[in-house]
Amino acid sequence: MAQTKDTDVKTAKKTKYDTPHEDLREWLTRADALGELQKVEGADWNLEIGAIAEMIYHATPENPPAILFDNIPGYPKGFRILSGMTASPNRLAMTLGLPEPKGPMDVVRAYRDRMKDFKSIPSRFVNTGPILENVDRDDEVDIFKFPVPFLHELDGGRYIGTGDCIIMKDPDSDWVNCGTYRVMVHDKNTVGLWMSPGKHGRLIREKYFKMGKPCPVAISVGHDPLMFLAAGNEIQYGTSEFAYAAGHRGKPFDMLKSELHGLPIPAHGEIVLEGEISPDDLRPEGPFGEWTGYYASSVRPDNVVKIKRVYYRNDPIITMARPGRPPSDYTMSKSVIKSALVWDQVEAAGLPGVQGVWCHQNGGGRLFNVISIKQAYPGHSRQAAQLCCNVHAGNYLGRWSIVVDEDIDPSNLWDVTWAMASRCDPIEDIDITRRAWSGALDPRKQAGDNFNSRAIVDACRPFEWKDEFPPVAESSPELAAKTHAKWGHLLKK
Ligand SMILES: Cc1cc2nc3c(=O)[nH]c(=O)nc-3n(C[C@H](O)[C@H](O)[C@H](O)COP(=O)(O)O)c2cc1C
């Protein structure tokens, strides 16, 4: 395994540049300068790449590198796979153009600050770009020319689309949606595309099918990480994820019109497949390792996409996001964006005194969510925990909603579980909400049952006697600061 050199690692950390990265290639140079790019040569597409990603992201969950796989057996050197684009706080901040963070909560705060006067920026259409370096048409199409990974042992096939952007145009308006939905390869020019009910891409597909037409689609499987961040999170219906992603870079993305359907495709993208979803060609899709860490939904028939064009850069890079038992290569960024959305929404619902929100990677950013507040009135803490799991961003497939005091860092599991262990009396402080919103991927539900329950855990000091609660046995901030100043060197390895 070749790693970045020590000299690279010592390069000054710089997460904020004067100009946004132009594309994934420039982003890679910056990630390397940050000392956060690990290069791996010779790993096999068949299980090894998936298992290496799992090994690295499980071993270093706090600050894992991005992994660039090259020299994949059976494929030309340069045909690469990138895992874990935004899996560390530094790389996420660098991607978004935010200042260097001390930890993930700093990224949440900076993201929320930006959103106060955020503006989306529509794409700019151009006539050419690196994505046109190679174009395979009709009979030339062979998706297996790319090192499509087989990720987990129990998967039903090779998945080219995991950290992808699925581009579809609403037939009734100019709106172009872009979502991350998994893409399984059936054969050299046919893929499966799983969009769960209610997702915007699925709603668009249904409109075409109702008109008795196939649904045009462009599938980008390698691109700027900003596009993946927008595509993989719940951006408002009717909003273009590309414009949203461009808002973060303060500059439009350059797009080309695809040959067949005129869909916008990233001019600086790596690989784009174009085709149509057929209303009446269904093949078995799945199973596939899921973000909850299980295979809860099994194989079932789903509509396939017939691929008629493949556009790709020389030495193309597949951007991969491998779901599975957390943490995985995208869960950090999922948690940051989700936490910022929940925080915004609980405040919009009128909740005061919020100090932080963190949707833990352990729960895939959905199942184990913590909100920290400065208690101001009786009932404040229950209101916070209830809202945290009932606002839209925090509602789907949740399970644990925990409220803690302001001295607890919601992103720190030591802090959170200590508060649960010491400030929560289960019989008094846990409420249950029944028949809440679940779905097909919930490992704890039975087939056909789309409800689950929520535990509302109040791990705050009881409001009535919070000021008489036993004092915490730790150094005062003054003593801690003095000790750090004089003895902090003892912490350095
Ligand atoms: C790595 C990753 C993989 C995902 N895979 C799927 C998937 O296979 N199917 C799906 O419906 N949603 C999937 N999602 C969730 C959607 O991308 C997410 O809900 C997004 O908001 C969908 O876009 P939309 O809101 O435009 O429908 C995935 C998210 C991520 C980050």
Residue nearest to atom 25 of ligand 1 (CA): 234
Residue from 160, 181, 392 to probe ligand 1 pocket by mutation (most atoms less than 8 Å from CB): 181
User: Ligand 1 centroid to 27 CA: how many Å?
Assistant: 23
User: Ligand 1 centroid to 201 CA: how many Å?
Assistant: 9
pLDDT of res. 159: 98
pLDDT of res. 10: 41
Question: Secondary structure of the chain in the HEC alphabet?
Answer: CCCCCHHHHHCCCCCCCCCCCCCHHHHHHHHHHCCCEEEEECCCCECHHHHHHHHHHHHCCCCCCEEEEECCCCCCCCCEEEECCCCCHHHHHHHHCCCCCCCHHHHHHHHHHHHCCCCCCCCEECCCCHHHHEEEEHHHCCHHHCCCCECCCCCCCCEEECCCEEEEECCCCCCEEEECCEEEEEECCEEEEECCCCCHHHHHHHHHHHCCCCEEEEEEEECCHHHHHHHCCCCCCCCCHHHHHHHHHCCCCEEEECCCCCCEEECCCCEEEEEEEEEEEEEEECCCCCCCCCCCCCCEEEEEEEEEEEEECCCCEEEECCCCCCCCCCHHHHHHHHHHHHHHHHHHCCCCCEEEEEECHHHCCCCEEEEEECCCCCCHHHHHHHHHHHCHHHHCCCCEEEEEECCCCCCCHHHHHHHHHHHCCHHHHEEEEEEEECCCCCCCCCCCCCEEEEEEEECCCCHHHHHHCCCCCCCCHHHHHHHHHHHHHHHCC
User: Ligand 1 centroid to 292 CA: how many Å?
Assistant: 13
Which atom of ligand 1 lies nearest, measured to the CA of 323?
1
pLDDT of res. 493: 65
The pTM for the full model equals 0.93
pLDDT 10s digits, 342-381: 999 999 999 999 999 999 999 999 999 999 999 999 999 9
Which atom of ligand 1 lies nearest, measured to the CA of 288?
8
pLDDT 10s digits, 136-165: 999 999 999 999 999 999 999 999 999 999
pLDDT 10s digits, 476-490: 999 999 999 999 999
Mean pLDDT in residue range 448-467? 94
Give the pocket of ligand 1 (CB within 6 Å): 162-163, 177, 179-182, 194-196, 199-201, 232-234, 321, 323, 330, 334
Mean pLDDT in residue range 388-409? 95
Q: Is the pLDDT of residue 24 over 90?
A: yes
Domains annotated on the chain, with CATH: 6-115 (no CATH), 124-320 (2.30.110.10), 331-469 (3.40.1670.10)
User: Ligand 1 centroid to 493 CA: how many Å?
Assistant: 40
Residue from 83, 92, 180, 193 to probe ligand 1 pocket by mutation (most atoms less than 8 Å from CB): 180
- What residues are annotated to the active site? 290
